[in-house]
Amino acid sequence: MEARPQVIRPYGDTSDDGMVQVSFTLPLPHDRRAEAAARQLAVKMGIDPPLVAHARAVGEAHTFFVIYGPVAHQVDLATVEVTEREFPLLNPREINTTIRRTLRRKLSVVGACVGTDAHTVGIDAILNLKGVAGEKGLEYYRELKVTNLGAQVPVPDLIRAAQAEHADAILVSQVVTQRDAHLRNTREVAAAVRAAFPRRRPVLVVGGPRFDERMAEDLGVDRVFGPGTTPREVASYLVHAVIERQSSGQREPARQGEPSGRGGAS
């Protein structure tokens, strides 16, 4: 079996040729000067020689470019860091059974898009029954009690809902990322959760297309999920995290007499 290379380069036309394609917009009308500026920028980015594969005016004062060319940079796989999944990936039956046997009540989840973020695709894909990519959302799980607050939820409203629902976990989706709004909003939520739950803090999870999964500690959350995350991954993590906290004495004792809710998975 051929050994996996430890130092790699991008692949375009032929192996190890270093070819890449990047796109960007410059605040210039589309003319020869704009294309020359785009090529110069590409060279400074390490693409040499650069080819303007596509250029198109965006209004009267901006131009969108696609640049193609080789880079000299390499990647040493020995230095690549990733966040490994630290919990088992369970199927729906295992998730429900584990919650029922361990908590002896439903696991309460409250989710929202906070601030001015009006994009509910991410939070709905995880929470809503229809789910995403062939997987049912968290509403499908019989032993999960899901409260989806939707979009543009002020942080104080999220906290009040989490308190009212006795949330075991809070899920926050952030799609709008201009000027790092997703980072500011996440830190605001984390601070509010710490203040509102000084003793029994819910598991705090954040997700969105621009998050780095290694940022959890810096953002003050328990877990960060990036693009491509499935509802089953989130449900498996919540079971792992909530039960781990209960076993270490960080969560309240199981509430007795809570009726089992309706759902698809047993």
User: Where are the chain's structural domains?
Assistant: 7-76, 92-247
Cα separation, 56 vs 29, whole angstroms: 9
From first to last of its 266 residues, the chain has per-residue pLDDT tens of 566 678 999 999 898 899 999 999 999 999 999 999 999 999 999 999 999 999 999 999 999 999 999 998 999 998 988 877 889 999 999 999 999 999 999 999 999 999 888 888 889 999 999 988 889 999 999 999 999 999 999 999 999 999 999 999 999 998 877 788 889 999 999 999 999 998 889 999 999 888 888 889 999 999 999 888 999 999 999 999 998 888 776 544 334 344 444 455 65
Kindly state the greatest CA–CA separation across the chain.
Answer: 74
Catalytic residue numbers, as ranges = 130
From the CB of residue 75, how many other CB atoms can be counted at a distance below 10 Å? 13
All residues at 6 or more sequence positions from 121 whose CB lies less than 8 Å from its CB, including other chains? 175
CATH topology of domain 7-76: Defensin A-like (3.30.30)
All residues at 6 or more sequence positions from 102 whose CB lies less than 8 Å from its CB, including other chains? 243, 246
Cα separation, 138 vs 80, whole angstroms: 32
Structure tokens at 247: 């076993």
Q: Which one-letter amino acid corresponds to residue 19?
A: M
Q: Residue 1: its pLDDT value, please?
A: 54
What's this model's pTM, rounded to 2 decimal places?
0.74
Cα separation, 146 vs 230, whole angstroms: 16
User: pLDDT, tens digit, for every residue of 16-42?
Assistant: 899 999 999 999 999 999 999 999 999
All residues at 6 or more sequence positions from 168 whose CB lies less than 8 Å from its CB, including other chains? 107, 108, 109, 202, 203, 238, 242, 251
Best CA proximity match to 127, nearest among 155, 105, 104, 151:
151
Cα separation, 185 vs 174, whole angstroms: 8
Structure tokens at 228: 């491509």
Architecture of domain 92-247: 3-Layer(aba) Sandwich (3.40)
Q: Residue 3: its pLDDT value, please?
A: 62
Equal fold, 7-76 vs 92-247: no
Q: How many CA atoms lie within 13 A of 28 on its CB side?
A: 13
User: pLDDT, tens digit, for every residue of 207-221?
Assistant: 988 888 888 999 999
